[in-house]
Amino acid sequence: MAGKALHPVTCPLSPYFMRIELHDIHKYYGVSRANYGISLTIEPGTIHGILGENGAGKSTLMKIMAGIIRKSRGTILINGQPADYCSPEQAMKLGLGMLYQDPLDFPSLTVLDNFILGQTSTVRIRKQAFQCRLNRLSEQLGFSLNPDAPVKSLTIGERQQLELIRLLAIGVDVLILDEPTTGISDLQKDVLFNALKALAAEGKSVILVSHKLEDVENLCSRVTVLRHGMLSGNMTRPFSTEALLKMIFGTPPLPPLLSPIPPGYPILVMDTVSTIGGRCGLRNCSTQIREGEIVGLAGLEGSGQEQFLRLAAGMKKPTQGAIMLNGIRIDGRNHYAFKDKGVVFMPTARLEEGLIPGLSIAEHIALQNNRKGFGLQWSESLQKAEQQINWFHIKGTPNSPVETLSGGNQQRLLLSLLPETPRLLLLENPTRGLDVESTHWIWEQLQRHRLRQAGIVFSSTELDEILMIAHRILVFFDGRLTMDVDTKQTNIHELGRAIAGKH
């Protein structure tokens, strides 16, 4: 095996190949299950891809392997020996290391200091030796890192390279990479992929978690697909895109049930709008939302939908381009101006952005009816809270502080706080965490607004939901609007391809 090594990348101390076997791994959070009976084998010297939708259980499985979370059931075998570890340090000692989506580093320290951190136990640090090691490793992998640069001046791709080298220097033989190609340039992607190939050729195992079909197809020799927390299938090279998509998204759902709508006037028009923020910002986005239309936003989390919704709500300002609301240019104004025109935004992070911890349901209702008077109409708010609790099936009392409600109930409360007659509803993952029945019920309620000729824009991680509800679908990939299509003229495979960045 050793003869296969193209470049002697690590110190010669660890010519050690690891075969990882997972047997019947389960992970439960309360009653919900994140992983259910997953078994798979990772051969040494291979690049193994893990594919699946958002929430399919990929991250949970990887975190179990890296020792960050504990499995509920099942065994992990390393070279045939059962291994029971429960912290990242122990996993690291066994040779398993994970490269996180957001690299864990110290931005104000230099590259070299970050490299040394966690590797030394002596009082005096032999900087020179570490610098040599850093330079050698980065040269062998084709990276160009300046040891004296502060980490905060690095791009995400370079920080990834640093973290990768650090893991190798610690002696990691199994590398787990979580979405490594999000937010890095194509050039850096090529560099990374070449490095990973070199490492695999040397006998190390690489596990690549991704939503992106293209990356996985280019790099991996074997792919495992997860769906709804379960193993959906395995495939070895050569891959068939159609078959993979079917494994990821399941069989196509029934044709959508849509009542035809007369095309209304445009409410919101975006003309080559760009902004920064999030993982990749949003670039040159042009589209419009018309009256009585439901538009679904699809894409991997962080591909630009978040920025799109916040721009449309006036929560942030575009760096270029124009936004028109009801035919009047409004970009550059703040959220209050948008709100006055009937734009309502419901964010996905309930307790962080949408609700106010410490206040009760009734107090939220009182905040909502804020405009009138100096005093608070307490009895009125309590009464209305009681009504909304019944109507929206919220499990709680008017005096329950919102942080004591469960996630699903917080979502219902947010929905109950929507105003009576909005003109444009911007909903970020409105049914996240709700069961199927509640989801249907909520969409029935929202249809009322559509019939009033309001426009509705929503994002969702469930393609099925988007296909079922939306009249039009916008697909985002890597900060760009890559597809703007009528629901009737597309299908789940085409959407799946677009979401994964394949054209």
Partner 1 sequence: MNIISLTHKRLLTAVVDWSITLICIGAFTTLILLATGAPPVSTYYHIFMGAFGSWVKFGHSVKAWIPLTLCACGLLYTFKIGLWNIGIEGQMIMGAVFATGILKWGVGSENEILFLWLSFPAGLVGGALWAVVSGFLKTKCGVNEIFAGLGLNFMAQGLILWLIFGHWKQPGIASMSGTETFPQTLWLPQAFAVNVPPTGIMLTILALCITAYILRFTRIGLNLTAIGNNATASVLFGLHPDRYMLLAMSLAGGLSGLAGCIQVVAVYHRLIPSISSGYGYLALLVVMLAGFRAGMTAIISLFFACLNVGSIQLPMVLQLDSSLSGVIQGAMVLVTLGVHAWRKRRAAS
Q: Which residues bind partner 1 (CB under 8 A)?
A: 315, 335-336, 339, 345-347, 351-359, 363, 366-368, 370-371, 373-376, 378
Q: Taking CA 189 as the corner, what is the angle to CA 184 and CA 193, rounded to the nearest 5 degrees?
A: 145
Pair 482, 475: CB distance under 8 Å: yes
The SS3 call for residue 283 is strand
Whole-number minimum distance, CB 345 to partner 1, in Å? Answer: 6
Give the span between the Cα atoms of 137 and 155, in whole angstroms: 19
Whole-number minimum distance, CB 367 to partner 1, in Å? Answer: 5
Cβ-based nearer residue to partner 1, 7 or 335:
335
Cβ-based nearer residue to partner 1, 184 or 414:
414
Whole-number minimum distance, CB 108 to partner 1, in Å? Answer: 19
Whole-number minimum distance, CB 152 to partner 1, in Å? Answer: 20
C-alpha distance from residue 128 to each of 116, 134, 166 (Å):
11, 10, 16
Cβ-based nearer residue to partner 1, 206 or 366:
366
Give the span between the Cα atoms of 52 and 226, in whole angstroms: 5
Whole-number minimum distance, CB 417 to partner 1, in Å? Answer: 8
Cβ-based nearer residue to partner 1, 42 or 361:
361
Whole-number minimum distance, CB 342 to partner 1, in Å? Answer: 12
Whole-number minimum distance, CB 177 to partner 1, in Å? Answer: 32
Give the span between the Cα atoms of 282 and 294, in whole angstroms: 21
Cβ-based nearer residue to partner 1, 79 or 334:
334
**Largest Cα–Cα separation, the chain:** 82
Locate the DSSP E strands across 43-200: 47-51, 73-78, 81-82, 96-99, 174-178
Cβ-based nearer residue to partner 1, 138 or 381:
381
Cβ-based nearer residue to partner 1, 381 or 439:
381
Give the type of residue at 218.
N
Give the span between the Cα atoms of 200 and 7, in whole angstroms: 11
Give the span between the Cα atoms of 268 and 83, in whole angstroms: 56
Contacts of 225 (CB under 8 A, 6+ apart): 50, 51, 52, 231, 232, 233, 234, 235, 244, 247, 248
Give the type of residue at 434.
L
Whole-number minimum distance, CB 415 to partner 1, in Å? Answer: 13
Cβ-based nearer residue to partner 1, 322 or 376:
376
Give the span between the Cα atoms of 465 and 469, in whole angstroms: 6
Give the span between the Cα atoms of 415 and 398, in whole angstroms: 16
Whole-number minimum distance, CB 142 to partner 1, in Å? Answer: 42
The SS3 call for residue 126 is coil
Pick from 264, 159, 257: which is nearest to 468 by CA?
257
Whole-number minimum distance, CB 421 to partner 1, in Å? Answer: 15
Give the span between the Cα atoms of 253 and 467, in whole angstroms: 8
Cβ-based nearer residue to partner 1, 105 or 363:
363
Give the span between the Cα atoms of 273 and 284, in whole angstroms: 5
Cβ-based nearer residue to partner 1, 244 or 355:
355
Place of tokens 């079917």: 246
